[in-house]
Structure 1
Amino acid sequence: MSTGPNPTVKLRGGRPWTPGDRGDGTSADVLVRDGLVAAIGPEATEATADITLDCGDCVVSPGLVDLHTHLRQPGKEEAETIESGGRAAALGGFTAVLAMPNTTPTIDSAEVVREVLELGRSAPCAVHTSGAITVDRAGERLAPMAEMAALGVSLFTDDGSGVQDDALMRRALEYAGGLGVILAQHCEVTSLSQGTCMHEGAVSSRLGLSGQPAEAEELMVMRDIALSRLTGTPVHFLHLSTARSVDLVRQAKAAGQTITAEAAPHHFTLTDEACVGYDPLFKVHPPLRTPADVAAVKAGLADGTIDAIATDHAPHTPDSKELPFDQAPPGMLGLEYALALALTELQLPLDAVISLLSVRPAVIGRMDEQGRPVAVGEPANLCVIDPSATWTIDDTGGASRSRNVPYAGRRVTGKVRHTVCAGEPVVIDGAAQR
């Protein structure tokens, strides 16, 4: 997000969110000046402003934070750029995203970290980046995490691949513990998942497609819980998708381990039955699972076992998604739909959804200026949500350069009206400002 003089902005008529908000608060104007919340209530109402945003019937929430965004740049700009992905994020209410490192070249050095952060300065939201655990995500030798950590990288992952070597993962956790950074694991045992294209079960058998067993994920979750316990280093689990994975994390937390986890919207909104038409839009890794797994993910989000919702926004060009199901790349768009899908499908109060999409991800990602209460003196990273607005998701892909939307035609409730990032309105009345 670029810095510079910000306008004075009045958010008029909304209900400011505070932690534990039960939805029974009263409306109050919010004044933003110099990138901070300057006043709330009568003082804000009486103040003059350069821009006034209508927030009637809306909640003024902290901006959303995505821990898992594929921005594709550098190297695959035909699918997405940091600028286009940042615009999609802002339209979805996100004021900060964490870029994944599976770019070309891999984000596995200080040089590439600097490039991504510099490109992110002109995006309409704050762009943070993760770094790879291993060089080129090849799982053979550790990347220079200390050099990347010195530039502010606090989360490291080989996302798209799990670290297969047990001893290497142990060494990575020990190294991360000394640096004070977090390792995040894409849990997939390749000896069980190689050559597969969907969940292994009744549906894959019926379709004649190679299936990935749930155990491919669960074995690595189990291993990393054990290695985290051995090393005393926290671990974060990316996009959990199976009932047993959720239960393993629940047990580890109950035993006092410092474990965090996330779930993607597609793993609580879609099942493997979506693959019946062989449409590659529904191909994703981890794959879409069974109704029982979806129910378990929802339960994990409701009871706090799963700490955050992360989009796993994964753009792919139309031609690549038109390949046969078993040859097409895995991944779906998510930034512009995550909030509405969560409000529609989870049946959780808005306060809980804000925690899952903003407060907890900001803590895990160590983004101190994000996920904060809407209070005087706090950074003005804000999302104005109309919780009762209904709309139908289309297949255009929104601001993304790609179009791989698996939710087209789905009717959802909850929409972003405005997004304010570092005091600057970047979305007004649902339209991107730059």
Structure 2
Amino acid sequence: MRTVFANGVVFSGTGFARHDVVVEGDRIVGVGERLARDPRDRVLDCEGRVLCAPFVDLHTHLRFPGVDEADDPESIARAALAGGFAVLVAMANTVPPIDRVSRFKEASERFHGLVIEVIQAATVTMERQGERLVDVEELVEAGVSILSDDGSGIQRSDVMRDALVASQEYDVVIAQHSEDALLAGDGVVNDGAFAPLLGVGSIPEVAESVMVARDIELLKVIPGRLHLQHVSARESLNLFRQAKREGLRISAEVAPHHLLLTDSRVAQGDPRFKVNPPLRSVATQMALVQGVRDGTFDAIATDHAPHPHQRKAGSIREAAFGMLGLAEAFSVAWTALSRTAGGVQMLADSDLGGPAWATLASVLSALTTGPGTVLGRSAQLRQGALANLVILDPYAAPRVVPSRWYRSGNSPYVGEELVGRVDDVLVRGAQLVADGEVLDA
């Protein structure tokens, strides 16, 4: 039996159209306006809602192996589905780190039973110590496509040079946590008004941007593949924008929390808002939002980092870095950007080519086609593709914040007035989320 998703607004990967989507088995067999129907078709009215491909997250901490007290892959998969994600890239800063084939295979096998797809990253350096490159050839042969020492930047220029050489030779992505350790020091929050009030060290934006500048200079002479993780500094964005104009093989992501929240949230010392890189100033937040609006950023990536209660309790100085964000990622990003486009009501008051719709397209592109391109795959809703589909309501608030699917509790979004809700998710034709309820994971 075919299912017709009728009267919705379809995001193709670049723009919107009022189209029907027809699914049969595990394939999309039709996308178009007023498609012919069979009396046996099951018709679902999607009036007022948007249909797009499922989201791809380039930056998630699944906490396996070794950090299972924080969360487990099954609950993270449920939260991902609730947020519209069908593909996650799992970071390699586990215990032990994923720096060799045996560990890569063990982690990958752990995720095979999940309904969503997990792409396991490996580290760039052995034990994430920044000194000696992993065996890139062996890891790539085993199936690795992305390398990252996330949690710490690669401090030595010669090591980063060698990593880029290897990325060119083996066509693997080097994903860099851009942070100069000496400039960041023992910083806890942004370098601004609140660090001295809290009596803690600060992490200036320049700690990020100097490493971005160094790596771009290396990339100019070594045409490898560089991906900038969780960009949070204005100068980093400026440098990245220019590098793209010059045609370098570079991509970048921004985290939802950096689009919505600013460093004023740490004023009371609440450790839920401690994250690395830290929440920045209003001016920087506005610049990052513009980087999504104008298409500079390739991806919105969550940096979802669950922690057990005891690691986020107590003072902001002692608490762990990191916050949740998988289930709320679309809502957070759309809330942040819709404010710059006149509010959500502007969608209803304009045609599909209006500025509010262009802003929504920027958000959805950064959650689907952009990260898909970084991974070298298509993430578009089109005829003939697998029946992977998200149905979302851009006008409605999320059902529950934080998501009830989380095992950990370090969400920064409690009490936030968010807009944008994921209603349904299909993967290979199987409905895994219905009216916000995760059916299987």
Same-fold call, TM cutoff 0.5:
yes
Q: Quote the offset at 1:390 in angstroms.
A: 2.3
Matches within 5 A, 1:122-137: 122-137=113-128
Find the partner of 1:81 among 41, 57, 72: 72
Q: Provide Cα deviations, 1:95-115, integer angstroms capped at 9, x if missing partner.
A: 111111011121112222222
Partner Cα separation in structure 1 for residue 245 and residue 21 of structure 2: 42
Aligned to 2:320: 329
Q: Quote the offset at 1:53 in angstroms.
A: 5.3
Can you give the 5+ residue segments of structure 1 that lack an aligned partner in the other structure? 1-6
Find the partner of 1:400 among 390, 394, 406: 406
1:341 is paired with a residue whose SS is: helix
Partner Cα separation in structure 2 for residue 289 and residue 16 of structure 1: 34
1:124 is paired with a residue whose SS is: coil
Native 8 Å contact 1:196 1:212 kept in 2: yes
Partner Cα separation in structure 2 for residue 161 and residue 297 of structure 1: 22
Aligned to 1:3: none
Aligned to 1:98: 89
Partner Cα separation in structure 1 for residue 139 and residue 261 of structure 2: 36
Q: Quote the offset at 1:200 in angstroms.
A: 1.4
One-letter amino acid of the structure 2 residue matched with residue 287 of structure 1: P
Q: Provide Cα deviations, 1:136-169, integer angstroms capped at 9, x if missing partner.
A: 1111111122222123321111000101111011
Q: Quote the offset at 1:186 in angstroms.
A: 0.1
- 1:223–1:29 CA distance, 2 compared to 1 (3 A): closer
Partner Cα separation in structure 2 for residue 317 and residue 376 of structure 1: 43
1:419 is paired with a residue whose SS is: strand
Matching of residue 307 in structure 1 with residue 298 in structure 2: yes
Native 8 Å contact 1:53 1:428 kept in 2: no
Partner Cα separation in structure 2 for residue 90 and residue 8 of structure 1: 23
Find the partner of 2:5 among 3, 11, 14: 11
Matching of residue 175 in structure 1 with residue 166 in structure 2: yes
Find the partner of 2:429 among 402, 423, 428: 423
Native 8 Å contact 1:31 1:44 kept in 2: no
Native 8 Å contact 2:292 2:362 kept in 1: no
Matches within 5 A, 1:17-28: 17-22=11-16, 25-28=17-20
Native 8 Å contact 1:13 1:27 kept in 2: yes
Q: Quote the offset at 1:260 in angstroms.
A: 0.9
Partner Cα separation in structure 2 for residue 197 and residue 361 of structure 1: 29
Matches within 5 A, 1:322-361: 322-347=313-338, 349-361=359-371
Matching of residue 221 in structure 1 with residue 221 in structure 2: no
Native 8 Å contact 1:78 1:401 kept in 2: no
Matching of residue 293 in structure 1 with residue 284 in structure 2: yes
2:162 is paired with a residue whose SS is: helix
- 1:279–1:26 CA distance, 2 compared to 1 (3 A): same
Can you give the 5+ residue segments of structure 2 that lack an aligned partner in the other structure? 339-357
Q: Provide Cα deviations, 1:262-294, integer angstroms capped at 9, x if missing partner.
A: 100111111111001111100000011111111
CA RMSD across the alignment: 1.9
Q: Quote the offset at 1:8 in angstroms.
A: 6.1
- 1:423–1:255 CA distance, 2 compared to 1 (3 A): same
Matching of residue 382 in structure 1 with residue 389 in structure 2: yes
Partner Cα separation in structure 2 for residue 354 and residue 148 of structure 1: 32
Aligned to 2:111: 120
Q: Quote the offset at 1:172 in angstroms.
A: 1.1
Identity, in percent, stands at 37
Aligned to 1:69: 60
Q: Quote the offset at 1:54 in angstroms.
A: 5.1
2:182 is paired with a residue whose SS is: helix
Aligned to 2:232: 241
Aligned to 1:4: none
Q: Quote the offset at 1:175 in angstroms.
A: 1.1
Aligned to 2:251: 260
Find the partner of 1:145 among 110, 132, 136: 136
Q: Quote the offset at 1:222 in angstroms.
A: 0.6
Partner Cα separation in structure 2 for residue 394 and residue 43 of structure 1: 37
